[in-house]
Amino acid sequence: MKKNVLTVLEQEMPNLTAAQRQIADYILKNAVEVSFLTLDQLSGLVGTSTTTVMRLTFNLGYSGYAEFQKDLQELLRNRVAPGTRLEANLKALERKSLLVKCAEKQIENIQETLDYLSDESVARSVEMIMQARKIYVVGVRTSFTAAYYLYQGLTRILDNCELLEIDTGAQIDRILNITPQDLVIAFSFPRYARSIVEQVKRITEQRGAKVMLITDSYSCPLVNVADVTLPCGCGSLAYHNSMSGAILVSDFLITSITVQDPVNTKKRLEESEVLLKSMNYHV
């Protein structure tokens, strides 16, 4: 079982130096806020050095602050409402450079996504799409934006892709059409919508479809039913999950499928262009 980082912190208090106990006390009292603070921000708020913070994380058995914070975020993720996240982020935000900081956060999300993904998992994901009889893409609320982006990209080059809108009752009949030869690509991010979790589990149990999961981490409740998991960075400076990491993964999948079969892709795009022109679709 994964260790509770706050419990470990409490247990190790007697073994810490005075400066480290000061940091530990701040973390225990402000755990939600700390889960969004950089190393420099935390050391500045406590009034100590970044080196002291790092030594504290070493004493707790972590390789550094980033690993410690990741465990803290996973522990708190399902407890943190959007309003609380916004309040914590605003405390650490310098408004004068908001645009730059937003850009830096998205770059950080992309780098985290690249760090999370393995060559094996991305190769497997492309193989699953290529081999599937039908592909069903699903996401709700914020994750629906990334799901739709992937669906729209795939459906332009493949003829077997559908967008599955889980939250509508009309999807029941479509779910009945799913077979073990099909692939469900599910987007699920904190706080993990119950509708996605329950319906995807139901599809795997009753219809036998394979599942590709695009999520924030291996703590997602769908990991145990996924055939392949693609974790993404999803941090933001406000209250929401950013989809920059998920869009990167989606863009990779669209690009990979495109280059797998360029001849048929070109043919389909040309046919699409003829239809669009006949409809006078573009200005």
What mean pLDDT, rounded, does the chain reach?
A: 85
3-state helix, strand, coil in the chain (%, to 5): 60, 10, 30
Delineate the domains of the chain, giving CATH numbers in brackets: 5-92 (1.10.10.10), 119-278 (3.40.50.10490)
Q: Per-residue pLDDT tens for 178-208?
A: 899 999 999 999 888 888 898 899 899 989 9
147/262 Cα distance (integer angstroms): 23
Residue 148 phi, psi (nearest 5): -65, -40
**Per DSSP, what are the bridge partners of residue 187?**
214
Instruction: Please tell me the predicted confidence (pLDDT) of residue 1.
Output: 45
> pTM to 2 decimals?
0.68
What percentage of the chain exceeds 90 in pLDDT? 29
Residue 243: exposed, middle, or buried by beta-carbon count in 10 A (0-12, 13-18, 19+)? buried
